[in-house]
Homo-oligomer: A and B are copies of this chain.
Amino acid sequence: MASEKKLVEAITSMEEDFAQWYTDVVKKAELCDYASVKGCMVIKPAGYALWENIQKELDRRFKETGVENVYMPLFIPEGLLQKEKDHVEGFAPEVAWVTHGGMEELQERMCVRPTSETLFCDFYARDIHSYRDLPKVYNQWCSVVRWEKTTRPFLRSREFLWQEGHTAHATAQEAQERTEQMLNVYADFCEEVLAIPVIRGQKTDKEKFAGAEATYTIEALMHDGKALQSGTSHNFGDGFAKAFEIQYAAKDNSLQYVHQTSWGMSTRIIGAIIMVHGDDSGLVLPPMIAPVQVVIVPIQQKKEGVLDKAFEIKEALSGFRVKVDDSDKSPGWKFSESEMRGIPVRVEIGPKDMAQNQAVLVRRDTREKQIVPLDRIQEKIGELLVQIQREMLERAREHRDAHTYTAEDFDVFKRTVEEKPGFVKAMWCGCRECEDKIKELTGATSRCMPFVQEKLADTCVCCGKPAVKMVYWGRAY
């Protein structure tokens, strides 16, 4: 039992040190590892399998809305990056520069893409001629590089995986509709698949994307009460189109600028899965995204027939992602390990169970046990996975709601941010000065102006002038 204890003891408890708990889980659940390049990560099989499931499900939802996948180059020539003023200011300080190809110095240095607006615009300028070429609804799955100073696995790394959608439309209205449509794809995906409830809303001008007219976001609340921006969708208007001269001949033969959007979700969302659902025994994965949904642990597996029965059950569980742990570890160790990895359901089967033609099912999230007859196990596990998925979302929503506060004056606001980690809803006058002051004095940033507005008061929580928007505030990752 000593070695079994070791596995669990290896995790710092959440209460004691949430940041260390996070690092421990990432490491012990074997999601990723540090690499020789500072700030980059090696995504291990358990972590990459999560990303593959995220990709598969998101990609399917994208394609249902007419998205086509493409691939743009990894490099952006410096001159191209500089074409849109706000954009280059936002990204130039944190890009990696390639200066030599083979033995020769390049005539123009290139950065490794931090995001690919400029590449898509350069391509669209050549590829779009007429209204018949519109809309373009392209996406790519790739990695991007941002030379961050401080990094954390999944949450902030110098290289990360993501998808970036880039669209071009004939009208401003169509671009706005696509921007909102993709935000809703992300939000629905988070809630339905990852069991992570999100607030949908618009970023303030201060927090919007470099070069965007408007940025929309989904914001999730982590277990420690800090917010995580989980996906964004930007409406560029015709700003990039003017900088890159992307024009089309309309039906009346007039030349018009296109209207553009972009939207992205990254491996950062794996950080959200960990921090929304995890507990002191490790990961807790929602069934829909779990690479392994059911682990079968044979008890006294050397006794005749036990392993056969375990594999027989696996065969019966067709349609689910099932693994039999037939390694030579002890059952207790296997329990801890499957808990660490967040496998939603554990099936225990041993000689005693076999004698009674039953098995024990254990939920990862609540640890609840139930005994089921073997001839109904497929049906029972199907029901259980649906129930776990639903209840994980409910619990995350209850946690979020229980950690969402309102503040009508600055003192309450400040005390709430300091003492009660979570979202604070408060009214705002719309000016940058108040946003800066709130951040300086409390550490909270504006997370979003939610689509669903409430009128909590008439005046700004900071300056007392007339309020224009209710904003979600919070400390964030």
Contact = CB atoms under 8 A, between A and B. Distances in A.
Interface of A: 33, 35-37, 40-45, 48-49, 51-52, 68-77, 80, 93-103, 110, 112, 119, 122-123, 126-127, 138, 142-143, 145, 147, 158-159, 161
A243 to B, nearest CB: 14
A69 B95 contact: no
Given A99-B97, A143-B142, A159 B37 contact: no
A114 B72 CA distance: 18
B112 A33 contact: no
A69 B96 contact: no
Given A98-B98, A102-B147, A147-B101, A73 B119 contact: no
A119 B72 contact: no
A75 B147 CA distance: 12
A40 B75 CA distance: 9
| Tally of this chain's copies | 2
Contacts of A69: 45, 48-49, 52
Given A36-B76, A142-B143, 11 more contacts: A41-B73, A43-B70, A45-B68, A45-B69, A48-B68, A48-B70, A71-B143, A73-B159, A97-B99, A98-B99, A112-B112
A36 B74 CA distance: 11
B96 A101 contact: yes
Given A74-B143, A94-B102, A138-B45, A36 B112 contact: no
B45 A77 contact: no
A77 B42 contact: no
Contacts of A101: 96-97, 147, 158
Contact of A42 (B70, B143, B158): B70
Contact of A72 (B35, B45, B103, B123): B35
A74 B112 CA distance: 10
B93 A71 contact: no
B68 A42 contact: no
7 contacts: A36-B76, A40-B74, A48-B69, A75-B159, A93-B102, A96-B98, A101-B147
Contact of A112 (B40, B98, B122): B98
A84 to B, nearest CB: 14
Given A36-B77, A36-B80, A75-B40, A97 B95 contact: no
A122 B71 contact: no
A98 B75 CA distance: 11
A231 to B, nearest CB: 20
A102 B93 CA distance: 5
A93 B159 CA distance: 25
Contacts of A44: 70
Nearest to A109: B100
A99 B102 contact: no
Nearest to A95: B102
Contacts of A123: 33, 35, 42
A161 B70 CA distance: 12
Nearest to A80: B36
A100 B97 contact: yes
B122 A159 contact: no
Contacts of A102: 93-96, 147
A41 B74 CA distance: 10
A49 B102 CA distance: 32
